[in-house]
Amino acid sequence: MFKKLIDNSAARSPWLFHINAGSCNGCDIELVALLTPRYDVERLGFKLAGTPRHADIVVVTGPVTAQSKDRVLRTIAQVPDPKVIVTLGSCPRSCNVFRGSYSVVGPLDKYVPIDVSIAGCTPKPEAIIDGLALATQILKEKRGAK
């Protein structure tokens, strides 16, 4: 009984942790816009956690810069299982316009497996909600597979 309850709760209470890996701040603002009264993702149980230890979903923005690479990997390692890694915007997936720069060592999937990618520069809030909803489903599957 408890296992089912926990599995169902996993999809209903995803806490986000947001890492900026050298982003231009555009995606970060769009992510914060989700918490405003207009989009209000808290109605789906989303919450921005202050620390990676509390998080279920890690949202990474920005092309991974040489300076941020270690921090990003260490932060992701601190998130307890089951966890889902979401990339927000084009940068973490392809480095976008920063590709080829001497300071960029991305894309992120060279270092960690990515579960959901939300494309766009920057993605619309609706697209982000869609991607996060997909992420909660993956979270539930990962929890169920354990």
Partner 1 sequence: MEFLIKIVYILIFPGLLFSSVFGLWLAGIDRKVVARMQRRVGPPVLQPTYDFFKLLGKETIVPSCAARHTFLIAPYVGLISLVVTALFIPIGGLQAFGGMADMVVVLYLITIPSLAMIFGGSASASPFAGVGVSRSMVAIMAYELPLILVLLSIGRAAGGTYVTFSLERVTLYQQMFGSFLFDWRLIPAALAMLLVIPCEVGAHPFDVGEAETEICEGPLVEYSGAPLAVFKLSHAIKMFIMTALFCALFLGGISTGMLWLDVVIALALCSVVTLICMTLLHAITARLKVEQVFKFFWTVVSGLALVSLILVWFVD
- Residues at the interface with partner 1 (CB under 8 A): 2, 5-10, 12-13, 37, 40, 42-45, 50-51, 53-54, 56, 78, 80-82, 143
Smallest distance, partner 1 to C-beta of residue 95, A = 30
1 contacts 122 by C-beta, under 8 angstroms: no
- By beta-carbon proximity to partner 1, the closer residue of 26 and 82 is 82
- By beta-carbon proximity to partner 1, the closer residue of 78 and 101 is 78
39 contacts 33 by C-beta, under 8 angstroms: yes
Torsion over CA: 36, 52, 95, 112 (sign) = negative
- By beta-carbon proximity to partner 1, the closer residue of 10 and 105 is 10
33 contacts 128 by C-beta, under 8 angstroms: no
Smallest distance, partner 1 to C-beta of residue 5, A = 5
Half-sphere exposure for 119 (CA within 13 Å, toward CB): 1
